[in-house]
Amino acid sequence: MYYLIRIYGALILVFVFSCRSEAKLENSSSAIDYSKLELPDKPNILWIVAEDLSPYIPTYGDSTVVTPNISRLAEEGIVYTNFYSPSGVCAPSRAAIATGTYPTRIGAQHMRTGPWFRFSTTDRALENYAKHGRLAYEALPETNVHMLSTYLRKHGYYCSNNPKEDYQFRCEIAAWDESSFQAHYKNRKPGQPFYAIFNLDNTHESMIWRKAKDSLLVDENLNVPVPPYLPNTPIALQDIRRNYSNIIEMDNRVGEILKELEQTGELENTIIFWYTDHGGPLPRQKRTVYQSGIHVPMIVRFPNKQFAGQIDDQLLSFIDLKPTVMSLLGIELPEKVDGKAWLGKHANADERQYLFAAADRFDNETDKIRAVFNKNFKLIKYYNLNQAYYLPVKYRETMPIMRELLRLRDKDSLNDIQKQWFRKTKDSIEFFDLVNDPDEIHNLANKPEYQEQIQTMHAELDQWIKDTNDKGKLLEKDYLETIWPDGNQPKTEDPKVQVVNEKIQLMSLIKGANIGYQWADSEETLTNNWEIYVEPIKIQTGKILFVMAHKIGYKTSDIIEKTF
Listed residue (321, 101, 279) closest to 195, CA to CA: 321
Answer with the one of 351, 367, 390 that is the final residue of a domain: 351
Measured at the CA of 457, the angle between CA 453 and CA 463, to 5 degrees, comes to: 150
Q: pLDDT class for 13, splitting at 50, 70, 90? A: very low
Taking residues 36-56, report their average pLDDT. Answer: 97
Whether the pLDDT of residue 11 is over 50: the answer is no
**How distant, in Å, are the alpha carbons of 38, 258, 304 from that of 310?**
16, 20, 14
User: Which string of DSSP letters, residue by residue, matches 345-395?
Assistant: TT---PPPS-EEEEE--BTTB---EEEEE-SSEEEEEES-TTS-SS---TT
Over residues 334-393, the pLDDT tens digits come to: 999 999 999 999 999 899 999 999 999 999 999 999 999 999 999 999 999 999 999 999
Co-location of 103 and 47 in the same domain = yes
Residues of the chain with pLDDT > 70: what percent?
94
Give me the CATH number covering residue 417. 3.30.1120
Cα gap 410→532, rounded to integer Å: 56
Co-location of 290 and 404 in the same domain = no
Q: How many angstroms from the chain centroid is the CA of residue 338?
A: 15
Co-location of 166 and 141 in the same domain = yes
Asked if residues 180 and 202 have their Cβ atoms less than 8 Å apart, the reply is no
Bridge partners of residue 507, in order along the sequence: 496
pTM above 0.85, yes or no: yes
Q: Is 341 helix (H, G, I), strand (E, B) or coil?
A: coil
Answer with the one of 431, 465, 487 that is the final residue of a domain: 487
Co-location of 157 and 274 in the same domain = yes
- Bridge-based pairing of strands 503-507 and 537-538 is antiparallel
The residue ranges of DSSP E strands in 141-181, in sequence order, are 158-162, 178-179
Co-location of 483 and 514 in the same domain = no
Answer with the one of 458, 487, 516 that is the final residue of a domain: 487
Over residues 524-551, the pLDDT tens digits come to: 999 989 999 999 999 999 999 999 999 9
Co-location of 375 and 272 in the same domain = no
Co-location of 478 and 510 in the same domain = no
How confident is the model at residue 126, as a pLDDT?
A: 73
Co-location of 120 and 255 in the same domain = yes
Co-location of 315 and 429 in the same domain = no
Which positions ≥6 away from 303 have C-beta within 8 Å? 38, 39, 40, 43, 267, 268, 269, 270, 271
Which positions ≥6 away from 148 have C-beta within 8 Å? 97, 98, 100, 195, 321, 322, 325, 326
- Domains: count for the chain: 3
- Between helix 400-410 and helix 234-263 the angle, nearest 10°, is 160
Asked if residues 300 and 293 have their Cβ atoms less than 8 Å apart, the reply is no
Contacts 24+ apart (CB under 8 A), 433-436: 433/376, 433/377, 434/9, 434/291, 434/373, 434/375, 434/376, 434/377, 434/378, 435/7, 435/9, 435/10, 435/11, 435/375, 435/376
Q: pLDDT class for 261, splitting at 50, 70, 90? A: very high
Give me the CATH number covering residue 536. 2.60.40.10
* Structural domain range at position 376: 359-487
Listed residue (44, 15, 314, 389) closest to 197, CA to CA: 44
- Residue 16 burial (CB count, 10 A): 25
How confident is the model at residue 262, as a pLDDT?
A: 98
Average pLDDT for the chain: 93
Active site amino acids: 90
Containing 514, the helix (H) or strand (E) segment is strand 514-520
Co-location of 320 and 369 in the same domain = no
Over residues 112-135, the pLDDT tens digits come to: 998 887 766 677 777 777 777 777
Asked if residues 443 and 451 have their Cβ atoms less than 8 Å apart, the reply is no
Co-location of 308 and 376 in the same domain = no
Bridge partners of residue 499, in order along the sequence: 504
Whether the pLDDT of residue 6 is over 50: the answer is no
Burial of 181 from C-beta contacts in 10 A (0-12 / 13-18 / 19+): exposed
Over residues 192-247, the pLDDT tens digits come to: 999 999 999 999 999 999 999 999 999 999 999 999 999 999 999 999 999 999 99
Q: How many angstroms from the chain centroid is the CA of residue 292?
A: 15
Give me the CATH number covering residue 277. 3.40.720.10
How confident is the model at residue 2, as a pLDDT?
A: 39
Co-location of 334 and 396 in the same domain = no
Taking residues 266-283, report their average pLDDT. Answer: 98
